[in-house]
Amino acid sequence: MKAALWYGKNDIRVEEIEEPKATKGLVKVKVKWCGICGSDLHEYLAGPIFIPVGQPHPLSGNTAPVVLGHEFSGEVVEVGEDVTEFKAGDRVVVEPMVVCGECPACKEGKYNLCSKLGFHGLCGSGGGFAEYTVFPKEFVHKIPDNIPYDKAALVEPLCVAFHSVRMANFKIGQTALVLGAGPIGLGTIECLKAAGAKLVIVMQRKSVRQEYAKRAGADVVLDPNEVNIPEEIKRLTGGVGVDATFETTGAQVGWDLGLASLKSDGTMVVTSIWEGNISFNPNDIVLTEKKVVGTLAYRHEFPATMAVMNDERVKAEGWITKRVALKDIVKEGFETLLGKEKKKHVKILVTPEEELLEK
């Protein structure tokens, strides 16, 4: 079968590899659509970050080259021994967590914090940029009937946003600042509005993404090149600041403005994956009792995320800005997301089934 493999920085190749088999406890999925994620871009530009190189991943036992892709939907074509929850023809998404099930975090049910954590599509266990993949039945979820395959490929990134709002302990009637209007930022806006936010402010430099933020439900969009964001936020909140900020840019400016815009005792949730260090003065949190919370992926939230998509509390309209064939993933996918028109794109979906591009 064809698959896109990461060999190294700036080196992704579409090659023929062996088709996986549905052995005991596994579900085999024929991939329909798979989104290119920010973490895929980080690996392409600056990797390895999560991808094992030199030392095999402790759970997959593999090293690069690895099949990429973890935001995907597909159709069950085969199930392994002891799998009774699924059958051929089921429409599914995969929660792409590779975990040990034995460490303290896993035993507490916080499997996203597994001490040996890996991600399907990054750690060498297979991935969604392929014609087929297999995964344990525990992490496969049926798609509601009225969510099409392409929209189902958005469940994974929306789940990241859903989890970050939960990690903020966000409450109905509170206020928020979202830093950045890329895919995770847009998902966070939608989840905040679904959670009953009174005011959602977005920091986004001038580009079409400002319009995307408004479409997602932002009440106010601010450009840091045009206004002093902490001062403007205090004006908008009666001198108080927002209850929560959500950092999705992975940049020093996002960290700084997110912290400065918080009310005393507010919470900043950091969703970004960072390519390097940043600096900050701990007194910025000590003297105000502000809280900084890290958030990684999701846990136990795929069904709830699909539920809010199914009843359209979260619409994710306009997210899919381009569809490409697997064979063209580098030129039409990665290079597009890194090129001069990158701000125009939210999510580029990739399919190994080229007939889908004609529908």
Q: How many CB atoms lie within 10 A of CB 278?
A: 12
- pLDDT string in tens for the chain (359-residue length): 999 999 999 999 999 999 999 999 999 999 999 999 988 998 999 889 999 999 999 999 999 999 999 999 999 999 999 999 999 999 999 999 999 999 999 999 999 999 999 999 999 999 999 999 999 999 999 999 999 999 999 999 999 999 999 999 999 999 999 999 999 999 999 999 999 999 999 999 999 999 999 999 999 999 999 999 999 999 999 999 999 999 999 999 999 999 999 999 999 999 998 878 999 999 999 999 999 999 999 999 999 999 999 999 999 999 999 999 999 999 999 999 999 989 899 999 999 999 999 87
Greatest CA span in the chain, whole angstroms?
61
Whole-angstrom distance, CA of residue 217 vs CA of residue 191: 10
Other CB atoms within a 10 A radius of the CB of residue 114 amount to 20
Question: Cis bond leading into 48, ω under 30°?
Answer: yes
CB-CB contact of 106 with 117 (8 Å): no
Burial 43-59 (b: 16+ CB within 10 A, else e): bbeebbebbbeeeebeb
Q: Among candidates 231, 270, 230, which has minimal Cα distance to 248?
A: 270
What pLDDT does 216 receive? Answer: 97
Residue 335 has a pLDDT of 96
Question: Which domains are delineated in the chain?
Answer: 2-154+319-358 (3.90.180.10), 160-294 (3.40.50.720)
Q: Which helix (H) or strand (E) holds 269?
A: strand 262-270
Ramachandran region, residue 184 (left: φ > 0; alpha: ψ -120 to 50; beta: rest): alpha
Angle of CA points 42, 247, 250, to nearest 5° = 25
- Bridge-based pairing of strands 26-35 and 132-136 is antiparallel
Report the 10 Å Cβ neighbour count for 271: 27
Read off the DSSP letter of residue 130.
B
What would the two tokens of residue 145 be?
A: 């009937």
Q: Which residue type, as a one-letter code, is found at position 20? A: P
| Chain center to CA of 128 | 14
Q: In this predicted structure, what is the pLDDT of residue 155?
A: 98
Three-state secondary structure call for residue 294: strand
Q: How far is CA 302 from CA 66, 121, 159, 256, 329, in A?
A: 25, 18, 6, 31, 26
Q: Phi and psi dihedrals of 151, rounded to 5? A: -70, -30
Q: Of 329, 271, 352, 324, whose CA–CA distance to 41 is shortest?
A: 329
Q: What is the pLDDT of residue 52?
A: 97
Contacts 24+ apart (CB under 8 A), 294-297: 294/269, 294/270, 295/160, 295/163, 295/164, 295/167, 295/269, 295/270, 295/271, 296/112, 296/113, 297/97, 297/112, 297/119, 297/159, 297/160, 297/163
pLDDT at residue 108 in the model: 98
